[in-house]
Amino acid sequence: MNATVKIQQELYTIDFSKPLDISLALRNDKSNPNAWYLDAPMIEPVQIDNYIAKVSEGASINFNTITFNPHAHGTHTECVGHISEKVYSVNEQLQRYFFTAEVISVAPERLGEDYIIPVTEIRTLLKGKHPEAVIIRTLPNTSDKRTKQYSHTNWPYLEEAAAQYLADLGVLHLLIDLPSVDKEKDEGALLAHKAFWQFPEATRMQATITEFIYVDNYIQDGSYLLNLQVAPFENDAAPSRPVLYKFE
């Protein structure tokens, strides 16, 4: 299905029959990507006494309970409620679902024992553009990101100045293919989270961070329309399914 959309006084054609899904599915096994020292998620049939709610066990339906953590087990979108004392729900803060977006691929740079995504690279790759959303694909972009167990790996992270630059640029939605925009073990500093949300001095309430995405190699760097759909959980974070559409 094609549609014509007007963005910044320009008309574009979008083919909505060709979505580019950049989310990771939640799986009921150890191959599910994982972080933050938790076990794998569980998807199990309800069992009451001798009754098992599974068709293969003689039930008339499959009726599963799912146990997981949105931050640790896959693609999720979070609001400032993730780091604030006051409770905020991403379901309430995200009011729109379509955004102009820019996909950029970044090779993290070594800094001591860490690897960082520096502001210089972000600024260079955006080439003066002002998208509503920025999608960061880290390099090398290997398929093991779909199954990687991230706990205790000291993954690359976003330089505080890079997060500040994106906030200053007016970027509302930041998406990244790592478990967090921040260093795994930073003693609670959360510098990139705070800089992007401008917390607590001038908090950008409608800004979101989406982590644990996967941008396949066939998706080229460049401009897209982003559809950011979030499960309606009243929580600081919720499972999400970001989908891209090419401008034609």
Question: What pLDDT was estimated at residue 5?
Answer: 67
What range does the domain containing 120 cover?
A: 2-25+73-246
CATH number at residue 142: 3.50.30.50
Q: What is the CA radius of gyration of the chain?
A: 19
The answer to whether residue 74 scores a pLDDT higher than 80 is: yes
pLDDT-derived band at 9, boundaries 50, 70, 90: low
Q: Which residue has the higher pLDDT, 248 or 219?
A: 219
* Half-sphere exposure for 203 (CA within 13 Å, toward CB): 15
Amino acid at 200: P
Which pLDDT tens digit goes with each residue over 119-128? 999 999 999 9
Q: Can you give the chain as a three-state secondary structure string? A: CEEEEEECCEEEEEECCCCEECCCCCCCCCCCCECCCCCCCEEEECEECCEECCHHHCCCCCCEEEECCCCCCCCEEECHHHCCCCCCCHHHHCCCCEEEEEEEEECCEEECCEEEECHHHHHHHHCCCCCCEEEEEECCCCHHHHCCECCCCCCCEECHHHHHHHHHHCCCEEEECCCCCCCCCCCCCCHHHHHHHCCCCCCCCCCEEEECCCCCCCCCCEEEEEEEEECCCCCCEEEEEEEEEECC
- Taking Cα atoms as reference points, which of 71, 84, 76 lies closest to residue 203? 84
**Is residue 65 a part of any domain in this protein?**
no
**Is residue 122 a part of any domain in this protein?**
yes
pLDDT-derived band at 86, boundaries 50, 70, 90: very high
The distance of Cα 88 from the centroid of its chain, to the nearest Å, equals 18
Average pLDDT over residues 48-60: 97
Q: What are the distances in angstroms from CA 212 to CA 31, 62, 177?
A: 14, 28, 5
Question: What pLDDT was estimated at residue 31?
Answer: 94
The answer to whether residue 21 scores a pLDDT higher than 80 is: yes
Question: What pLDDT was estimated at residue 11?
Answer: 78
| Phi-psi region at 217: left, alpha or beta (left = phi > 0; alpha = psi -120 to 50) | alpha
The proportion of the chain whose per-residue pLDDT surpasses 70, expressed as a percent, equals 97
114-117 and 157-158 beta bridge pairing: parallel
pTM above 0.75, yes or no: yes
Residue with tokens 């690359």: 156
Query: Is the distance from CB of 84 to CB of 101 less than 8 angstroms?
Result: no
**Is residue 48 a part of any domain in this protein?**
no
Question: What pLDDT was estimated at residue 182?
Answer: 98
**Is residue 136 a part of any domain in this protein?**
yes
**Is residue 37 a part of any domain in this protein?**
no
Question: What pLDDT was estimated at residue 7?
Answer: 67
How many structural domains compose the chain?
1
Cis before residue 118, ω within 30 degrees of 0?
Answer: no
Which pLDDT tens digit goes with each residue over 75-84? 999 999 999 9
**Is residue 64 a part of any domain in this protein?**
no
Tokens standing for residue 80: 């400032």
**Is residue 36 a part of any domain in this protein?**
no
**Is residue 53 a part of any domain in this protein?**
no
